[in-house]
Structure 1
């Protein structure tokens, strides 16, 4: 982390961090889905995209509040701090590297200090700090979780509270996860669809974690949980149930449908609509979010130590050049010293502020 400075990163700093990947990522010109067909982030995104939808004036206000906050405020891009890992990965496993985050106020302080657009965390964390911070940074209440105390472990998102309570504690938006491909996915789709409808009625925005879970998504030693075709379809179901913003893992490969042998596909998905370049794989995810009408934010993933900065900047460059809306990055920031966590989040934000990094 010693490469980070208090001052914003320059384009040259970004090039240096990307190293050998700099040219292939920063100079790449996509020949798949034309950038002109995308609805890209910008200062006018709510006016250009959401004003013509069924979203109420209260939802439009909530979305604009999210877009206007923090260091990226007014750019159309968003940087969200998500800390729900205390439930999703156990509190001990998540916070042992930095125990201050057992205290929910530390979560609020990190999001505020780093200039994030919003903070996404649990009912309990936000309720505990509601009156002190609800007016200082947009709250995104994560309304469902996978609990890890059942043995053997099962992967099943269940509701932890009501949408009304999220509104009551001052939330700007609600977030939820669906494990697409899991045995319980049908129930989760219905539950989250109903919750998002209620959230919109109350004037809150909606963000969906479109994750995939099925042991059969691994074949011949290759993991297709992050295949562009499978995650893209998960995104498409997510926007169908009226998620305003989609959270998805960065795609790492493609051909999950054809290799595993399920669902339906068309060979042009792999030859014309995408390629092996990570920007094209991510653009296919954007395309499945109604060509960007619902913003795609990619997740930061687990912390791996010294490589976190480079990986985070790389993910941000891919997302931005593909047509995405930003990053939702947690463990790489909070599983290190507070100041370093702030600096890492700022570095990611600097990618979206860099005018030299444009749509591929």
Structure 2
């Protein structure tokens, strides 16, 4: 029987041998079948929120594992619909987004008020809905970068949503307003019994230098995660870290030498573990984003990202473009390949 690990690139296979000597795995709160009982039940979440979290964690191929595979398709607003769906125009029809999530056996589908508003009555009882309530639209000229609300939490609830999702651009001029808006929205979502997912992205032109893009630095994204957990996110979405030393290089914030010498190395699993640590040592799950589609290498790239996330102590991937910017059957197969990593017991915490 073929294994998900067959025919992977040597650098991907090498990830399976890595041992983490930074933050010990014994200090992490690990994903597993009892994750909700162990970490959410003792929290302030209401029974209604626990039920919604149970719907997320107990749907699809990864049901009952403590891991998540979510299909996100909000790029029609974030990146323009033509750029997003041009490679596969069937997804201009929002019903096909839901079909892909269902055929791909995902835990949930994350998309827009508009998409869910056209199909909710047909699909709300078949797969958990995660409604993205704010977006960065790019029709303004020159482009501005700001997450603005596109609807209310009540509207998401009326559409049958299991969860609401939002983005905060931490580090941006507008971040204080976004933090307050999202904190209030998440509080209301919890009052209505919905779960909450936060896209904890960093955004500031100063974070990108000639040599490095610190928008994906472990120290900056880790702190964004910590702020996201603090304002009431039940699940954190974050980009996979690619470097470190954003605070120290840019000369702001507060640091400690241990952040760079003991709590992280330059290995991608160790960098990602620092992100997990900032999610209260894994009490709140970290799901990493799948990134853009680059073509033929997408399957291997997705498996590599999943291995890094799982071995670091994360809870899964939220991967969209690699799945929907290709023929339908191939998109389903890619989602299943990601899930296979989390179902493979031989891939363990580093």
TM-score above 0.5: yes
Out of 45, 58, 61, which is 1:71 matched to? 61
Where does structure 1 differ by over 4 angstroms across 4 or more consecutive aligned residues?
none
Unaligned runs of 5+ in 1: 1-6
Q: State the 1:17 CA deviation.
A: 1.5
The alpha-carbon deviation at position 299 of structure 1 amounts to 0.1
For 1:53, the equivalent position in structure 2 comes to 43
Report how many aligned residue pairs link the two structures: 350
Gaps of 5+ in 2: none
Aligned equivalent of 1:310, options 285, 291, 300? 300
Query: Which of 256, 266, 287 is matched with 1:297 structurally?
Result: 287
State which of 203, 209, 215 in structure 2 corresponds to 1:213: 203
Task: Note the C-alpha offset of 1:174.
Answer: 0.2
Q: Does 1:22 align with 2:16?
A: no
Q: In the TM superposition, what is the alpha-carbon distance from 1:127 to its structure 2 partner?
A: 1.3
Query: Contact between 1:18 and 1:313, CA under 8 Å: does it hold in 2?
Result: no
**Secondary structure of 2:215's match?**
coil
Matched residue SS, 1:203: coil
**Separation in structure 1 between the aligned mates of residue 219 and residue 211 of structure 2, nearest angstrom:** 18
Q: Aligned residue for 1:4?
A: none
Shift of 1:277: 0.8
- 1:114 paired residue among 93, 100, 104: 104
In the alignment, the residues of structure 2 paired with residue 15 and residue 37 of structure 1 have an alpha-carbon distance, to the nearest angstrom, of 31
Partners of 2:245 and 2:70 lie apart in 1 by: 30
1:15 to partner: Cα distance = 5.0
1:355 maps to: 345
Measure, in 2, the Cα distance between the counterparts of 1:270 and 1:125. Answer: 43
Aligned to 2:223: 233
C-alpha root-mean-square deviation of aligned residues, in Å?
0.9
After the TM superposition, which of the residue ranges 215-224 and 78-87 deviates more from structure 2?
215-224
TM-score normalised over the length of structure 1:
0.96
Report how far residue 313 of structure 1 moved: 0.3
The alignment partner of 2:229 has SS state of: helix
Deviations 1:237-271 (A, max 9, x none): 00000100000000000001011111111110011
Alignment match of 1:183 (pick from 162, 173, 190): 173
SS at match of 2:69: strand
The aligned counterpart of 1:157 is 147
Work out the CA distance in 1 between the residues paired with 2:6 and 2:234.
Answer: 32
2:241 and 2:235 mapped to 1: Cα distance?
Answer: 17
1:197 corresponds to which residue?
A: 187
**1:303 deviation in Å?**
0.4
* Shift of residue 27, structure 1, vs aligned partner: 1.0
Deviations 1:166-192 (Å, cap 9, x if unpaired)? 001100000000001111000000000
Q: Match of 1:264?
A: 254
Counterpart CA distance in 2 for 1:17 and 1:117 is 26
Q: Which residue of 1 aligns with 2:274?
A: 284
Pick aligned residue for 1:332 from 306, 309, 322: 322
Asked whether the equivalents of residues 140 and 171 of structure 1 are also in contact (C-alpha less than 8 Å), the reply is yes
What do the CA deviations read for 1:126-163 (whole angstroms, capped 9, x no partner)? 11100100000000000000111111000000000000
Residues of 1 paired with 2:6 and 2:232: CA distance?
Answer: 37
In 1, Cα distance between equivalents of 2:341 and 2:107: 15
**Separation in structure 1 between the aligned mates of residue 341 and residue 289 of structure 2, nearest angstrom:** 15
Q: Deviations over 1:303-350 (max 9, x none)?
A: 000111111000000000000000000000000000000000000000
Aligned partners of 1:348, 1:17: CA distance in 2, in Å? 13
Alpha-carbon distance in structure 1 between the residues aligned to 2:183 and 2:302: 31
Question: Residue 37 in 1 paired to residue 21 in 2?
Answer: no
Matched with 1:3 is none
> Structure 1 residue 220: deviation in Å?
3.0
1:88 aligns with 2:78: yes
Q: Which digits, 9 at most, give the CA deviation of each residue in 1:67-92, with x for residues without a partner?
A: 00000011110000000000000000
- The question of whether the paired residues in 2 share the 8 Å contact of 1:18 and 1:314 is answered with no
